[in-house]
A and B are shown apart, each in its own frame.
Chain A
Amino acid sequence: MANNVLYIEDNPDNMMLVQRALEARGYRLLKAANGLDGVATAETEPVDLILLDINLPDIDGYEVARRLRSSRKRELNSVPIIAITANALKGDAEKALDAGCDVYMSKPINIRELWARVEAFVPMP
């Protein structure tokens, strides 16, 4: 069943919020707390959608997106990526889309919007 969502996020509060929200809808959440772990998890686990924070402690979300899009694991070249950021710098949204993300969401993460955006790519199990 295609319901594996990878969330790359270093903030534990956001991680918990999203985990609770998505698991309530039947999704399986894979978690990574930094960019490199996120890329590694995506390359080794089955992933149907990626939620990607931009402000990460090691490589930023733009670099994560670029690495995923050029990954040898061909599924990652087209896996849906939803960028999520507090947009603290000018042009975050544009940069996220340029880096290969499909959709941009700003924090705080509204749960109803998150459900709708996830379901648009991966129907609720």
Chain B
Amino acid sequence: MTNSKIKAGHGIKSDSPGLFPDSGVLSYLSTLQCSGCGTEYDYHEIHTFCPNCQSPLLSIYDLKKVRQQVDRDEISSRRKGMWRWHELLPVQDRENIVFLGEGDTALLRLSNFAEELGLTNLFVKDESTNPTGSFKARGLAAAVSKAKELGLKKVIIPTAGNAGGAMAAYAARAGIQAIIYMPKDTPRANIEESRIAGAEVVLVDGLISDAAGMAGERARTEGWFDLSTFKEPYRAEGKKIMGYELAETFNWELPEVILYPTGGGTGLVGMWKAFAELDELGWLANGNRPRMIAVQASGCAPVVKAFESGSTFCDFWLGAQTIASGLRVPKSFADQIILHDIRESNGLAIAVSDSEILEAQKKLGSNEGIFAAPEGAATVAALIKLIEQNQVGKDERIVCFNTGSGLKYLD
């Protein structure tokens, strides 16, 4: 069978010719803008974070043109995957897109579990079906593709686990060298998948914050490009597509509540950005946006502490400890944006214990057949608490995010 005979949407997971349109504008990216001071930067150049105020940079698109030139409903008919939203992603040349099949994960209604909880509209967005088994594939697909476009040859990342595996996979496919710094007690699956993908893996006696310091130092001294959370502008763009997919699946009426496990916060910030873009594009049926619930582990809850104290930034969390390795982030580089977005959404931040996470993981498995990552199970544990606190309505549409597969946490 030749490529010309392969029909779109038949599950071919390759960045081969024909996957994306041969003509037309691939991306409407117009500038990079500092989330702190508003300074703009040229996206044709390599950028990390704002040199003036050291805040994350965000990708800004010409949404006026998108509104004029892109048909929202035509996007739904495109071949499945994250890149069908390419106009709202940062890659300019289709040859630079590194595709492993990411995106368009299932939104599953949890009827059995909802009944037990007394809810009527409970869903899980199951990100475990992404390449490398977690939502990290989305962000790293975007970041590595853009790194390729910018001519970068070597990338480095500190990770609590899944981001490392994802970066290794996309870097391998892009022909880019990769180094990964991860805590030595990172789940074995993350270590092995990174090594199998050809990355150099450095195990660190510490937390992701320690790994970040060491990776940053090596990046500076040896010229590796640092793909740390929010220390480059594009991972959030891949993650934001979760928000576009949700809007589309809910027929352009966003759900009332989203529970999201929050470590570095890329997904939460990305989705909130997506909702703002969707609003500006006029693609939503109404102006209602979800309440964003940031879920953390009680053994590492800097966002919860800052949210409850009214602070606009987080204190570094001392002695971070939780089985949910993706939530073991003592302080996100994007803490100010996370807190801003939660508050703007009228949401909140909530912590759950490891035992509550394990209990929720069992409930999700036995009620619905979903083997969730501990981070994903944490959202369900948080939901149980929110119901007890009367923080969610019985008939509200509630979406919990399962960010990865429980199969990656077997050691």
Which A residues lie at the B interface, using CB under 8 A? 17, 21, 85-94, 97, 103-113, 116
Contact = CB atoms under 8 A, between A and B. Distances in A.
B210 A89 contact: yes
Contacts of B214: 88
Contacts, number: 67
Nearest to A89: B210
A8 to B, nearest CB: 19
Q: Is the interface of B mostly helix, strand, loop or mixed?
A: loop
Contact of B331 (A86, A92, A106, A111): A106
A47 to B, nearest CB: 24
Given A112-B53, A113-B313, A87 B36 contact: no
A111 B54 contact: yes
Interface stretch (B201-209, B254-262, B344-352): B201-209
B217 A17 contact: no
Contact of A111 (B53, B207, B217, B312): B53
A76 B318 CA distance: 25
Contacts of B204: 90
Interface of B: 36-37, 49, 52-55, 204-207, 209-210, 212-214, 216-217, 231, 312-313, 315-316, 318-319, 330-331, 333, 336
Contacts of A89: 206, 210, 213
B212 A87 contact: yes
B210 A110 contact: no
A89 to B, nearest CB: 7
A86 B53 contact: no
Contacts of B209: 87, 106
B38 to A, nearest CB: 12
26 contacts: A85-B213, A86-B216, A87-B213, A88-B210, A88-B213, A88-B214, A89-B206, A89-B210, A90-B205, A90-B210, A91-B206, A93-B318, A103-B315, A108-B49, A108-B54, A108-B231, A108-B333, A109-B54, A110-B54, A110-B313, A110-B336, A111-B54, A112-B312, A112-B336, A113-B313, A116-B313
